[in-house]
Amino acid sequence: MERFLWYPLEHLPFIVLVIMIVFTVHEFAHAYSAYKFGDDTAYKEGRVTLNPMVHLDLMGSILLLIAGFGWAKPVPVNASRFKHRRVMSIIVSAVGPLSNLLMAVVGMFIIYGLVASGVVHVASTGVQDALIVFFSYFIMINILLFVFNLIPLPPLDGYRIVSEFLPLRLRYKIEQNIHWAMILFLLFVFIPPLRAVTLDPILSLQYPLFNGLNDLMQSIFGFRIWLPR
């Protein structure tokens, strides 16, 4: 079974826990910001919550396990209810990926703080290993989702941001053919030669971001933790 998964089978419990946290916070950020800007569509559907069961998408979660990235249930947004439609639409779309970046930074601070305080060193070897594995995945998957969701391909957040700057006629035409974008996306995922020249170069940006966060933590704490990527 392991060869069909992107991650080691023994790490599956950590991955599932991370998925529940990062997807939930991402979608909550969309729903909460839209609600605060005057659109109660997501609120009425019960999406302004940190309950993972409301936000998780089965296919998107499975795809993260087998392909290395995925998605949650999109939050419904009615931008016509915003006072400043374009600006607020961009903010609502951007807060999802930014929440992932923020979680990655917070996760990095926590693991470095635990090491600096000596808490990790007094724990058993099993607990130490579990902490390193969990926070490595927590940080890395959040960075991955930050990069992935900014790809300007519908229905990702990157497209929603870019679409606010497109001419209405072009935007309408894209919306009419949005199902083809999903098919194209799946081709990029499951056909290795296409993925190698499309998604992989973009998703590889997660590694310099990960290294940059590690460098930042090293400059703050005065030491560096080896976190597997």
Q: Which residues are catalytic?
A: 27
Q: How far is CA 108 from the centre of its chain?
A: 16
Q: How far apart are CA 143 and CA 124, in angstroms?
A: 29
Helix (H, G, I), strand (E, B) or coil at 165: coil
Structure tokens at 229: 């990527």
Q: How far apart are CA 214 and CA 203, in angstroms?
A: 18
| CB-CB contact of 144 with 203 (8 Å) | yes
| CB-CB contact of 21 with 50 (8 Å) | no
